[in-house]
Homo-oligomer: A and B are copies of this chain.
């Protein structure tokens, strides 16, 4: 997995999306990694509540943040700074608070997969939605969690539950993208249509005729062995092209090394 899938000719996703609010993040590098995770999944609005090491306002970004963002600097440049979580969420209509620990609050608890489809509906109805993420070591305070409509937590191995800040943002972004878009950047690239049954059966006939001539079938076994062979080959769910390729393979084996002419029409090598 690498960055080589990025297509800079495609416009960035800029549709309305949840605001990501980092409360007192300690390391500029983590802020950068969160920006990168956001960009991966079409989130663009970041808010920072009192970052421990400060945040340059008006031009100039924290160095660690920029390199960790791997190109998602537009998100860092547009990040807004707030003195408190309450002020950072003041204009929002619906707020989730992330936490890895049970807090004993009587608040609904949802996973990202559960949370994102209804959030997408809210955003489609022009609500402004935000997700609070706490400090690297100690998370959100109970008071900050009390600002939220529901708690967002992650299905993780309870024996090893330590997601870092950027990983938590990544999983939220991933489920957001799945809920609102969800398709991978590409699917099968298969220009050939599925083979017709006629092509497949004609290929079987050819193969079975040749095998008969080779004495492949022991006496009385042809019917059952033919059925088994067809079972194996049907499982391929071949395309038209693949059925032709296989026919060419069988023919080449039949003719052996003696004949090295060009393949005839309708018989292609596998690279064709």
**CB distance A154 to B109 under 8 Å?**
no
Rounded to whole angstroms, the CA-CA distance of A256 and B40 in the bound complex is: 55
Asked whether A155 and B171 contact (CB < 8 A) given A2-B100, A139-B1, the answer is no
Q: Is the interface of A mostly helix, strand, loop or mixed?
A: loop
Contact of A70 among B70, B105, B162, B171 (CB under 8 A): B162
A272 nearest CB across to chain B (Å): 12
Indicate if the CB atoms of B155 and A102 lie closer than 8 Å. no
Residue contact A158 to B185, C-beta cutoff 8 Å: yes
Taking a contact as CB atoms under 8 Å apart, the answer to whether A106 and B188 are in contact is yes
Q: Which residues of B contact A101 (CB under 8 A)?
A: 4-5, 186
Q: Which residues from B are CB-within-8-Å of A190?
A: 106
Name the CB-closest residue of B to A100. B5
Judged by a CB distance under 8 angstroms, whether A269 is at the interface is: no
Given contacts A5-B101, A134-B1, A171-B174, contact A186 B109 (CB under 8 A): yes
Q: How far is the CB of A242 from chain B (nearest CB, A)?
A: 7
In chain B, what residue has the closest Cβ to A138? B2
